[in-house]
Amino acid sequence: MKQNIDRVGIMGRKLGMTQAFDEAGHLVGLTVLSCEPGMVVRCKTSNQEGYEAIQVGFVEVPAHKLNKPNVGHFKKHLKGKVFYKELCEFRVSSSTSYQVGQALTVDAFKPGQRVDIIGRSKGKGFQGTVKRHKFTRGPETHGSKNVRPPGSIGSSAFPSRVLKGKRMPGHMGNRNVTIIGLRIHAVDPEKHLIFVEGAVPGARNNLVTIRPSTRA
């Protein structure tokens, strides 16, 4: 499969959800994303790094809120003029098309465009198989004791062990999730807002990455 490049995006903060009517008059749910402008911190070249990419900083913070390695990184590439909490890297065909200090804003996205959004899902703690893997529960009548337990998990004489990948109770949520092909309903460049049709992973105020979709 050929890797898609030049999918440069931005990072935003999930504010919440609202609703609006589309062109056909249908009421659709929208997720509101606040996307402050990002800045190109570093341009990586194939001669030095082995691949072409740009490193973009988001969420400006004071220097004392970062550790020393990150402070040194921004002092080296941005001369210590500005510091960012988040760094995101995007692969490009040629990093010479970008310059250090260049701003990336919501103007790069248009209504009707499809985007992929990456976010960290809500953590749900330790959960059983019914909630985590959609297992069906057993009968509750005639004295059955097998209502929500997972049941038998291993083989008999061979291989006499539990096979890897067995669906069992465990930690649920709190992982990176990518939603593919969400449609942009509207863009507000003045307020740095993007309105996306559908749900976006994560809780309110979570940071997400928005980039052009691989699907039309």
CA 96 to chain centre: 27
What pLDDT, in 10s, does the model give residues 130-163?
999 999 999 989 988 889 999 888 888 888 889 9
Closest CA to 35 of 126, 96, 95, 105: 105
What length is written for the chain? 216
Per-residue exposure over 87-103, b if at least 16 CB sit within 10 Å of its own CB, e if not: bbebbbeebeebeeeee
User: Which pLDDT score, from 0 to 100, does residue 4 have?
Assistant: 47
Whole-Å CA distances, 204 to 13, 161, 193: 8, 42, 15
Domains of the chain and CATH, by start: 10-124+182-212 (3.30.160.810), 125-173 (no CATH)
User: Which pLDDT score, from 0 to 100, does residue 5 have?
Assistant: 57
Residue 111 has pLDDT above 50, yes or no: yes
Place of tokens 């998990």: 153
Task: Write down the number of H helices and E strands in the chain.
Answer: 2, 12
| DSSP H/E element including 71 | helix 68-78
What pLDDT, in 10s, does the model give residues 83-93?
999 999 999 99
Stretch 173-186: mean pLDDT, rounded? 96
User: Which pLDDT score, from 0 to 100, does residue 216 have?
Assistant: 63
